[in-house]
Amino acid sequence: MLRRIFAFALAAAAAVYATTFDVTFTTTSGHAVPPTLYGLMFEDINHVRSGDGGLYAELIQNRAFQQVTPGTSAALTAWAALGAASITVVKSSSPVSTALPNALSFKPTATSGTVGFTNDGYFGIPVTAGFKYTGSFFYLFTSTTVPFTTSSSWQQATFTFTASSTQTSVENLFALTVNAATIGELTMEFTLISLFPPTFNNRENGMRLDISEVLLAMKPGFFRFPGGNNLEGETAAQRWAWENTVNSLVDRPGRLGTWGYINTDGNGLYEYLQWIEDMDMEPIMAVYAGYSLDGVAVAEDDLQPYITEAINQINFVIGDASTNAQAAIRSAMGHPEPFALTYIEIGNEDFFSPTTYADYRWADFVNALSAEFPQLHYISTSATSGFVPTLTPAPTYWDLHIYSNPNFFINGAFNFDILPRNGLQFFQGEYASMTNNAGVDLDFPFIDGSIAEAAYVECFDRNSDIVFAASWAPLLSSVSSIQWTPDLITFSPNTLILSTSYYVQKLFSLFKGDFYLTSTTNTASSPVQWSVTRDTATSQYFLKVVNTATTENTVVFTLPFTPVSTAGTGTILTAPSGTMNTLTNPTAVVPTNFSFTAGKTITYNAPGLSLSILTVLS
């Protein structure tokens, strides 16, 4: 994710429009479409809500008082005393683990009545009828003498309950209470206080169900993680370090994330991989490459520990658990067999320190990793212009990022068509129309920008012989805490807003096909963009039409076969200029289905600002 926003252009097409638009294609000329073409990019961004409190299903905010200063009001974020009681965050004299030194100190200030403490979650706690909630917490009596039999060491309590009704409001509290008469004036400590709703695939410590389901509905081919700037950290010491995100939750210290808030790392490397496997995606995993957001690159003489860290990270994923210590951790966590892994990205946006990346960081990492894992493919990070820096050894895979306005994406719809076929493969790892053409920032994606993006995505279809993956970014944001807009999906604790760009991404992924068919037209530039792909197994042909104009345009397809049925089916996304899905109107723009007459010639009137998919059967 770019901390500074700029655009690059490989080419800019002239806006010369045809008066008629005819497309002819064959069934034999073209190329295979990679299964990874359309997928997801994720990093924890947007202030405690895209990861913690978002994709990660934990409902309790500040559950283990990680990376806070004891005794401060900030350390009590989301917590409040209930009844006659006092609470404060302390550095425990006998911590539950070295990773979690802090605890909530609780003491009644009365000798009777119900007392305790509450947590208000991540901007609310949803309650859904029939959902089984699972929770746990660690507690400790700090007094040397207690009036009943108990242990003087940390104990973990677990509990479950099923909600009997749905609460329309999310302004609910999680409370732990006791009868003050039971413990008198004794002091107790609590930490790692956790509450989960049902999760995707019923995974312990898993992912939010509704978010996972709408992502699964996109049929994404890959998942790039863990970032993004959040991989790099503000400093090298604050980088995302895989070893701090695995093992038991009590062994994870958390960290101050790049975007200015604490990451619990409850959603760690293992949880990412397990969810990726459950979602049937290909992981594109990044490793820290010695550059952080403070602008400091690790000197070459000091780089080896980070290279070793990357090797260990990969071994955790694919190593032999019987011979490798890192893989043994994975096995102990519940996955004895290696996870799938093909792609490793070395760093993130290293154009911010291009000299060190070109001089030694790329080479030192890729040479060491290739020697250990020759079967993997290594991706170099994005360039800032149409040319790429000279790296040795020469990369095969490049990650490109672009955030701009609708006009850029319309004019860039042929960017990849002009590139030579010389073995290079491109990953459009991040892109989005962030503003309108006047430069005004957007709160949500709007139809004009999303259709402009669709014209750009047509370029990925046509050039999927050299574009092996593409992902829109950022993926997730809460309506209550936003640092970066627009986002693909915006959510509250109990609702989802699927943007116009979400539907563009979903439609291209669902109708991806497995073979791109070469087509010809009467013009190289038009408000209409197109592509034709085939699903070989079903003999379906997908005719994809994007009209970036605000007025209707006609496209005529000449087919090289007679469809087996004259009943064609289509899906369209369209709306008047400026329309967006918002919190107050989350379904202002949704795809709709239509039918058309299929024949050897198909004439289609594409509405203004539309993405249409016409499906015919050969």
SS (H, E, C) 344-381: EEECCCHHHCHHHHHHHHHHHHHHHHHHHCCCCEEEEC
Q: How many alpha carbons lie under 13 Å from residue 460 in its C-beta half-sphere? A: 29
Same domain, 236 and 307: yes
Average confidence (pLDDT) over 542-559: 96
Taking residues 290-316, report their average pLDDT.
98
Domain endpoint, select from 464, 485, 502: 502
CB under 8 A, 24+ apart: contacts of 141-146: 141/186, 141/187, 141/188, 142/93, 142/94, 142/105, 142/186, 142/187, 142/188, 142/189, 143/186, 143/187, 146/183, 146/186
Residue 158, strand partner residues:
136
CA distances, 34 to each of 37, 462, 463, 514 (Å): 5, 12, 11, 7
Does residue 188 sit in the same domain as residue 215?
no
Q: Which of 82-86, 178-182, 256-260, 355-359 has the highest mean pLDDT?
A: 82-86
Closest by CA position to 549, among listed 409, 423, 452: 452
Q: Is residue 310 part of a domain?
A: yes
Average pLDDT over residues 466-493: 92
Q: In terms of domains, do 192 and 211 share one? A: no
pLDDT band with cut points at 50, 70 and 90 for residue 521: confident
The pLDDT of 35-41, averaged and rounded, is 99
Task: For residue 144, give the CATH number of its domain.
Answer: 2.60.120.260
Domain boundary among 196, 228, 261: 196
**Residue 565 placed within a domain:** no
More confident residue, 19 or 342: 342
CA pair distance 238, 293, nearest whole angstrom: 10
Please say if the pLDDT value at position 302 is more than 70: yes
Q: Could you count the other beta carbons within 10 Å of the beta carbon of residue 400?
A: 21
Domain that holds residue 270: 34-54+204-502
Residue-wise pLDDT tens digits, 416-452: 999 999 999 999 999 999 999 999 999 999 999 999 9
Residue 98 predicted with pLDDT over 90: yes
Question: Residue 443 burial (CB < 10 Å; 0-12/13-18/19+)?
Answer: middle
| 150 pLDDT tier (thresholds 50, 70, 90) | low
Q: Are residues 171 and 303 in the same domain?
A: no
Q: Domain of 330: which CATH number?
A: 3.20.20.80
Q: Which residues contact 323 (CB under 8 A, 6 or more apart)?
A: none
% pLDDT > 70, the chain:
93
- 42-56, 264-278, 371-385, 588-602 — which is least confidently predicted? 42-56
CA-CA distance, 428 to 448, in Å (whole number)? Answer: 21
Per-residue 3-state assignment (H helix, E strand, C coil) for 418-456: CCCCCCCEEEEEEEEECECCCCCECCCCEHHHHHHHHHH
The set of residues, in sequence order, having a beta carbon less than 8 Å from that of 305 and lying 6+ positions away, is none
609 domain-assigned = no
Q: Is residue 364 part of a domain?
A: yes
Q: What is the mean pLDDT of residues 503-517?
A: 99
Other beta carbons within 10 angstroms of residue 483's beta carbon come to 16
Same-domain status, 293 and 253: yes
Measured from the Cβ of residue 582, the count of other Cβ atoms closer than 10 Å reads 16
Taking alpha carbons only, the member of 156, 312, 332 closest to residue 242 is: 312
Which pLDDT does position 389 carry in this prediction? Answer: 66
Rounded mean pLDDT, 211-233? 97
Two structure tokens written together for 601? 């010639």
Q: What angle do CA 605, 610, 615 make, to 5 degrees?
A: 65
**256 Cβ neighbours under 8 A, 6+ residues apart:** 67, 234, 238, 262, 263
Percentage above 90 pLDDT, the chain: 86
Q: What is the pLDDT of residue 151?
A: 58
Same domain, 121 and 270: no
In a domain, 577, yes or no: no
* Domain match, 142 and 226 both: no
- Angle, alpha carbons 34-38-43 (nearest 5°): 130
Give the count of domains, the chain: 2
What pLDDT is attached to residue 49? 66
Mean pLDDT (the chain) is: 93
Cα(19)–Cα(2) distance, integer angstroms: 39
From 81-90, 433-442, 525-534, the region with the lowest mean pLDDT: 525-534
Whole-number Å distance between alpha carbons of 49 and 242: 20
Whether residues 162 and 231 fall in one domain? no
pTM over 0.75: yes
- Spatial separation of the C-alpha atoms in residues 344 and 600, rounded to whole Å: 45
Choose one of 135, 161, 196: the last residue of a domain: 196
Name which of 221-225, 252-256, 520-524 the model is least confident about. Answer: 520-524
Residue 516 lies in a domain: no
Is the residue at 4 inside a domain? no
Mean pLDDT of 469-493: 91
Question: What is the mean pLDDT of the segment spanning 59-69?
Answer: 98
* pLDDT for 24: 94
Tokens 């202030």 correspond to 47
State whether 302 and 424 are in the same domain.
Answer: yes
Q: How far is CA 551 from CA 73, 521, 614, in A?
A: 57, 20, 19
Work out the pLDDT band at 492, boundaries 50, 70, 90: very high
Residue 386 vs residues 2, 382, 401, 412, 466: alpha-carbon distances, Å:
17, 10, 12, 12, 15
Which amino acid is present at 255?
A: R
Q: Please tell me whether residues 222 and 278 are part of one structural domain.
A: yes
Structure confidence at residue 1 (pLDDT): 56
Read off the pLDDT of each residue in 309-333 and give the average, rounded to a whole number. 99
β-strand 515-521 against 22-32: which pairing, if any?
Answer: antiparallel
In this predicted structure, which of 148-157, 313-322, 446-455, 475-484 has the lowest mean pLDDT?
A: 148-157
Cβ atoms of 110 and 93 closer than 8 Å: no
pLDDT of residue 351: 82
Binned at pLDDT 50, 70 and 90, residue 388 comes out as low
Tokens coding 520? 């010809």
pLDDT, mean of residues 399-427:
94
The shares of helix, strand and coil residues in the chain, as percent rounded to the nearest 5, are 20, 30, 50
